[in-house]
Structure 1
């Protein structure tokens, strides 16, 4: 689906082109009449047609009878209508800023085409806006999709890359680079819309990680069956966090401090052990000396089969495909990434639920 602005811009383009073709048609009719009916030369026919359509007030190129003068009157009227239509459409386009908007849309399209490994946020209500803030704090590239003009204006004011359209449609997802995206977050207000979005995203890019918002427990199950890698219910999650904040307030403050916010001192990160470039595969944590070399702490290890090892000991063997969940400062995590990499190996993948 094209955005409303893009539709208007394309409409103006078509109308201006139609007006130009209409004026060209009038010109051809006038030239043909003078050439084949009045039997003038091509030069005189073209010249007479131009001065007639331009209404410059010159006299007749050659003497004409009543029939020729009646045709010239009709030609003037057709020319005035065609030129007036073009001027009207052009003036509207200038006043409404469609030309400037067209330039912005082309720039946006080129930006969309250049994106790779980005995140897509579907829905820019309160949930989507908070997700966008967190993504910006993390410095990850992302695109916002919403069908409401007000949401698009707010996203653009915040400096986000935004596209107005229906996120449940394949065409919209293709326009924001779903094929090259890393993750899609379906935060639309309707559970059905989120389900359609997840299904479309997984069809177009089976490798993409899909996160979905759900309002009910039944919707959670349906979204999981529909292919969502993770489903979050604001009501269920909110209730659990409020209970945890009441029972373990200091723990919650600590966890919030390392998971969100732009002024964090500690971060949590996921690092994948790629056997092709990782030198510590096959070693124990003690022999790998990750903590002593970087200061970062390995909190847990997710095995390829989906099993989770919480609080791994020094005797835990690091295996190919393991996903390390680590905590540390930004500098410590960068150092750890260099040892495991030496390039960024962060990868989010769906745990095996078997």
Structure 2
């Protein structure tokens, strides 16, 4: 990231040098034309051979004043050209031009993304989130303002934007208008709050998930529009207690929620009446289990009601969210039965 900034600086320096050299050329040409009375071709030719220091004779004899100006013109040209050569050589040696090419390639990649996730913050929590997204094959972009973290994410092969995630410009560069989910794991609750507010303003439909360090921050983030708020301290405490009391249950839950070497997965499916043929049928009539092998663990109604362990008599309604468990192949088959997953839903596990 520092290299990219250096590349932009060198690019500006080279453009400034080229502009200065053009000004010096015009100055010399107008001097020889206006003061010495030469033709335009003679004036421009004299200026070029003077700036290039090729050592040709004067086009026409010069007086003392003309020679003083010519000497000044040579010095200005040498300084400007020397400066440009120095900057260009530094860029070649340090590989700044390659960094610029890589930056353009990253911009093209970002422009091509659609239905991707935006991960704000690449600290300890953000790093773990990135690993899980990578394991699931979910396209995502990392935003972090710290150089060390940004370089670490880049070394891992992630698409990175080293900017302040709380700024609208950073989110716009990450194509937030085309993203489906924003996960913010920044170090302070205030930064997470600002990021969620900005994200919801730029894309009201985006699903925003935020980290919080206190119960008060959880409430504020929810009021700001966060769809889900996770407190590592609260969640961590609950998990520690659960592992102590029910270790085998937690081992099983961990095995189906995270990691790249899972045998079983949990997935959610939103029933769309336009593409799902089973809306209006009971689970027994739909025969989802017998057709796919996947198990429907729960159903979330549109009014928020959660039906855990639905029976065969449970009716499937428009807007129901099915929470299902199965192997990757079983969930793909279930997806084909229910219709394509909405872009706003998490992606299915990658085929092994």
Query: What TM-score results when the alignment is normalised by the length of structure 2?
Result: 0.95
Alignment of 1:316-335 (within 5 A): 316-335=314-333
Indicate which of 248, 251, 254 corresponds to 2:249.
251
Instruction: Name stretches of at least 5 consecutive residues in structure 1 with no aligned partner.
Output: 350-354
Indicate which of 17, 24, 27 corresponds to 2:25.
27
Other structure's SS at 1:269 match: strand
Quote how far apart the aligned CAs of 1:6 are: 4.2
Which position in structure 2 is the counterpart of 1:301? 299
Could you tell me how far apart the structure 2 residues matched to 1:11 and 1:263 are?
45
Q: How many residues align?
A: 346
Which position in structure 2 is the counterpart of 1:18? 16
Question: 2:115·2:343 contact (CA, 8 Å) conserved in 1?
Answer: no
Which position in structure 1 is the counterpart of 2:97? 99
1:98-142 CA distance string (max 9 Å, x none): 211111111111111111111111110110000000001100101
Question: 2:161·2:174 contact (CA, 8 Å) conserved in 1?
Answer: yes
Question: 1:31·1:49 contact (CA, 8 Å) conserved in 2?
Answer: yes
Question: 2:115·2:344 contact (CA, 8 Å) conserved in 1?
Answer: no
Query: What TM-score results when the alignment is normalised by the length of structure 1?
Result: 0.95
Could you tell me how far apart the structure 2 residues matched to 1:98 and 1:222 are?
44
State the Cα RMSD in Å: 1.4
Which position in structure 2 is the counterpart of 1:165? 163
Could you tell me how far apart the structure 2 residues matched to 1:347 and 1:308 are?
20
Question: 2:288·2:334 contact (CA, 8 Å) conserved in 1?
Answer: yes
Which position in structure 2 is the counterpart of 1:231? 229
Could you tell me how far apart the structure 2 residues matched to 1:262 and 1:250 are?
20
Moved more, 22-31 or 251-260: 22-31
Quote how far apart the aligned CAs of 1:348 are: 4.2
Other structure's SS at 1:143 match: strand
1:142-193 CA distance string (max 9 Å, x none): 1111111111111111111111010111110000011111111110111111
Which position in structure 1 is the counterpart of 2:203? 205
Other structure's SS at 1:184 match: strand
Question: 2:180·2:343 contact (CA, 8 Å) conserved in 1?
Answer: no
Which position in structure 2 is the counterpart of 1:77? 75
Could you tell me how far apart the structure 2 residues matched to 1:208 and 1:239 are?
29
Alignment of 1:121-140 (within 5 A): 121-140=119-138
Other structure's SS at 2:193 match: helix
Could you tell me how far apart the structure 1 residues matched to 2:112 and 2:32 are?
54
Question: 1:272·1:346 contact (CA, 8 Å) conserved in 2?
Answer: no
Moved more, 320-329 or 31-40: 31-40
Alignment of 1:49-198 (within 5 A): 49-198=47-196
Could you tell me how far apart the structure 1 residues matched to 2:253 and 2:111 are?
37
Other structure's SS at 1:275 match: coil
